[in-house]
Amino acid sequence: MNKLVILTIYILTCFSITGCSSNYLDYKEHIETTGQYNYAFYMDSWGIGDQGYYVLQLEKDTNPKDVYVEINMDGINPKQREWMDNRTILFNYAEAGYHYQNPNIKLIDNRFLVFSRGGYYYGLYDLKTQKDTFNIGSPWNEFIEKSGYYYEKINREKEEKEYTIWVEKNIHDNIKKYIQFNK
């Protein structure tokens, strides 16, 4: 059965059981630091087509597994959305379905928080400067805009190859260079 159909059935079943609301964020992992904050990685539970990825900076007394951002048929609870937005340090989504495998976060040299998926670095938060040094929310759209590449509805293999080259050159390698230069 098609994964999209199964996911749609699952979401509708959850709504009927939970009274039409659920947690927008699906906890995946977190990193505890010796600093003021811990960092948690979530995927949006509503990403039927293009999966969204969030890295939140959480106060030490917040259990990352207990984070709950309510969503229902009217959207995300506004107060909880504001809470989430104030803590989101990296956001990314896998448009076009490329490089969605093995999304994760890791801390390099106790300073560089890296978000990766599909074997490529996609986001970097520098704990020392407290800045999202590399954080392109929609890398595929940026690829289309900046590369001049024409969108391939028919030849997805060719598009994925070109996109992968672009990601490696413009995001992944730049994150690696930044880490190496700022060690």
- Model confidence pLDDT, tens digit, residues 115-167: 999 999 999 999 999 999 999 999 988 998 888 787 667 788 888 999 999 99
10 Å CB burial of residue 169 (0-12, 13-18, 19+) is: exposed
- Enumerate the β-bridge partners of residue 125: 113, 132
More confident residue, 100 or 58: 58
Q: pTM to 2 decimals? A: 0.86
Please state the domain extents for the chain. Answer: 23-181
Tokens of 78: 């506004």
Pairwise CA distance, residues 151 & 159, whole Å: 7
Q: Which of 17-26, 72-81, 157-166 has the lowest mean pLDDT?
A: 17-26
Residue 16 has pLDDT above 70, yes or no: no
pLDDT, tens only, 101-115 = 999 999 999 999 999
